[in-house]
Structure 1
């Protein structure tokens, strides 16, 4: 419906406020986000009534925009005829998925004369190419995602001096969106050494290793400069999970193992060129070697082995080495890595286990009645018919990474009808879903609660078992344990009965034979039913009993347990031996409960012994037919004017209404009709049909559902101020042909339409100021598209379409989410009309004071918001 056409009257004061709350957003909204804005007007008419007018909603849809950052500039020294390897990282700064083209162009006058600039992928961003296949474009990256590349630059043997390379990453979505880096290469005739570190696992595959695997580390040095690298030293500090293998170090230029214990200054080997090697392992986590000189063009390597520690957690192990020449630091090696695979192992038992597989007796089941640590939890205490057996188990995560564990139970030979559930370590909280995540080596406890059938025959000997399984969420690895009960089943010492002769349900008899409830009470939706019960303590000592339902009621239903005086309880309180307690069980169906029968399984259970009993009664929900319409309205209209009044019809019954008359009466000189607001937008559209019966509504009106009726009334042009008429909409009391509406008091509304001399409407418009520079556009009420960083120009217009002056007109609005108010540096400041109007502006709110507006006049304010970026 159109609110501004409902309330048409003389205005003495008008205030407009946004109904969209202001929210602060630190980043650009994602592509497809909707920015919505709507205004509300309130003013007082001549009679002092407060009137509300709501503007239309204007919406703006955020479009996908590209953004990219390329990092970082590189500065490298290279020998004539050599190669440089230049790492870069591309970040998608846009608000949606995008890929980026890659180019590299030499910028100088040809001093370096680079003959090839080739991109290779470096997806793990360790500065080393992942493959030898060149690329010219990244894969598609999500918003905020990164990707690494390595550029191989080759220079001619005649190259000299210094030159730069311009690296560009450009959006495939929008080619003009790009980012650049500048790499600088300098030709040098001095020593240049490149150090490359690799870690190869055996038997690991693709760098994936397990605890105990061997990792061969190779440090390869290449003297690519024109001068020898004298007094060349390398240091490698190993990760704690890389355990050095003594005696495994070898130099490519000599045979035999290097001595770990000679110290860093003692020569371990000499090659054919007379270059000496000194190797040292410090018995900690550091290896060092030094070479007296590495001649120009020479390369070599040092290889040694490590093993993956048994204590290594799952994840990436990274390492890099450092180097220097004659005491001057040179660039470090690349970062090499191996990935420790997830190794999963779980345990469920009567005790916890340590990572090494040994028993941890400090964490053990508190309910295990046998002394052995044998994965079996035994309970030997006797229980009553319908009682519960509680058995605590310990779950342990023996994996090398955090993991969550599920636990399940399978009945082996507990009696039929036994139900099982788990509670957590507190003994109370139900276990729903996985437990955890548990840290490496962490344990937790769960308790299996077995509820025995209340009609189970007493027996002196038992041997019940159930199988428990815990499962790793990360891998599906499982472990099993056993719950065993060998106590006796004692005769029930509590009896729950209906306090109604003939249908008591005496003894362990939940049903009145088969599956027949003992008592059935009928009621309406939302109307409570009371079952009067007796709890009899037939045992030898006093006891108290918890009260509950042994079922889940339908959604929206509720139950209360009350003493005879109305006190709400969840426990009977202490009942002496041989005595009983009256309990009222009050069941209330939901307000929309459908017709039909619902069993109510009422249970008592001793909190001491676990014994219990059940009675199954039943609630029958009646068919209820009840429709309602709201509310009476009092509106104003000018002579010859039109008003639309929105009314809500609700089905308060529990049966779909498909038939029933909808009548409008009472108007004489005024004319009216009732329309169904089919698209529920509150506005009378050309497609909204006139209705006079629920059978005009496709599918009818479902229980609990509502629909909107728009009552349109037009007044005669000859009507004079003060004349009024009352139109009435009535919903017939006979529904669906033969059924009677339960409550006809809410089946009619009366709308009063009064002829006045004033009228006020409120409208909101927008257009996109793409460059945020105050560019004039065409205002529209339709949805627009906008990019992050662009601006939206709003216009709110209050029009006095009546015959009397509107006084003290105030317009206010708030910047919608994802935006803030801006003046574009002074080029898109607010505009207010008529002359003499004033405005107060903040980053989140706009308020304007327009004074009095004559009939036919307008009050408006224009302002601009900028979308976050």
Structure 2
């Protein structure tokens, strides 16, 4: 995993509206569901394709984009000779990654050739329009000298800001007036020019006027006034926080009361507007602050809270009255949140302030957009006597800095069961966070039972009750009594698309969920196929816990309960109450029953069919020499099925049947016999035989249950021979990071004893270097299952001998193959186990048993369907012509810019030897992308896929019900819920998304 700034993102169930940050890795992994030849529901998972988002550059200086010199005038300041004025600036990095900027102010001389006495740049981290300290970032006194901030300034992307002020000191020798004294260029230039498609320099200007009359400057800040300027009534002011959560209620007080302060429900802060006269004479000062409409703004002025610094503890009257202006006096007016203030007589070199309190409304937007505004004021003397007052302030053409209050998000999540809704969300909310409210069905759900080998599927609802987008991490705790080997996984609402770790913190999560929204997810607990039916009421439980990524203290849980485990829907075994490896969904990896027969004779193999479905069902009977059905037996071999128990001596006269009689549900069973005739010319061997039953009508869940049992027949002869076999060749699947165990029978098929010399397992080329490993075990108890406590790890023939294999006997071996965690879906590796033998002991000089080997082909997929996803970049304007890039499809890493498009193609192929059915490919639109209206010509297609009418049968849809190419759509499917998928047939989903910009 990479760092948060370059988070690894796999398709998430909620759209992400923000631009994709630079170095974000957008990952996409698809899934396909189908019914395998045994009627079991399977899920195949594709490889992951990744696209790294490239950094693109853009920025503004005082809302001005890159331009040609000289640029607009953004600040106009007025001062007398010898005074210093401060011009505020804000650089905003609107690109998607951090960049470094060179900031320069030039000491441009006045028209008469006189420069400023000094030009300096200071940091202004709180955006109050004043220097943070007395230490400048740069300084110049020379005419046309440049003040260059050194080192260059790094600013974070995605609207990161750097605030600074340029300080202009007028020369003490300047005289008269000048409008302007000088206009100074201020420039910001991006250092990494390769990121920008347009200009890389922003030019703005500050204009400074010289006057010998009043000259006013204003700074607005979230902060308390000077010591001694108390709040109305002489008390303390609310804490002046410049960030925090917005109010949570709509009934917070908006009139001043002594001791007013922020609470959990109501957020207040304090503003101080500082104004000064840097001119050459006293004057009348007027200013206005539009705090905002009470209904729509992010802030509301608290009536009765305004205090002038010259009258500490006394609230200003809020109704304009010219009589207040008797010198020295002030006039103040509050008109629906518009505050107007007039100071009748502000002396030279005098600084005063106005302080007031605001409520951060419950409607304030997250961030600063609705909680930032500037004070407007007159830069010079506003006029005489009572012609200018709070009711008529005159022209206010100058403006202060902005003073933002940053609204932080609030986080609250609730995780409930499938029935939880906003209307009953209280039932799903934990009383103790992390402990489910098990008294309510909205926080606890129960599935009565599930068949072994099938998943218990629980739907959860995740609510974002906070006021900002949040992602919820998912974990499981307090897992009780589930059978050993049960696997747990999280999926999107479609139940097939696996959830991933979208933010790179190492935990599977929901992906972003918008404020006030909810999201359905699916939790699957898959019971191992060989699990015995449970007795009593074990009530297997699991608590699913959600944790807010935005605030890890916010957790909530929901409980899922599985009442019991039943047997597989149908179970074909060699004995009525089987406890061996034929129990449960088969076939097993090694023969369950091996019969010995002479060539030219019949042998009888007992079969039991148990119907665990609730419906009465009949089953077809079939045989094959391989796992592929329909299948065949070797030439000359005859197999027929008979009802009931039949001895080998009665097989010749037994009546053959092709289907069973109807078998009642709920565990009823019936016995049949497979009669096998071996031709007289058959040489000595051990022949694999697979028997299969398949329901002739749909079961209660709509599927057609299938089960297969693996047996073997050993044919004997009178000749003394030294031959051996190692069977079978296995094909299996394994998940990345998982392992699979494959059984083999080493059988002496001659009449002599085969003595083992060595045994070894080798992997196909490149597998070992990629992290694949193997282990060989001797199956000591011959049960075909790896029991690490009893089965012996093979080292060599001296340390852990396999030993002699007598005629017509077998030694069972187990090969365990470990796949690396990074193995790609669709990757196939062959593990070859080879046995070499010693020379025969008698007769002297006899040829030893020939070396034997068997292959275990392990594919990194679930089931028999392989799923591969490819991608290509489309850089055309508006993502036009996606078909043009289909020739570039690959599974390799891409790089792309925000606004560019990605075309995904997902191909599901039946790589098995038998048909599967109900194949549906699903894909969730990745985080930081959205579908676009322009889509490839063929979005959903198939080859070789046929339904009962022998016609093409695929359908495309968005799982949220919207049309393909709808930007709000979050998932796409392609496939058929009814069609048969023969070996080699494919289903292909192709669609286009755009990276958020």
Structure with greater proportional strand content:
1
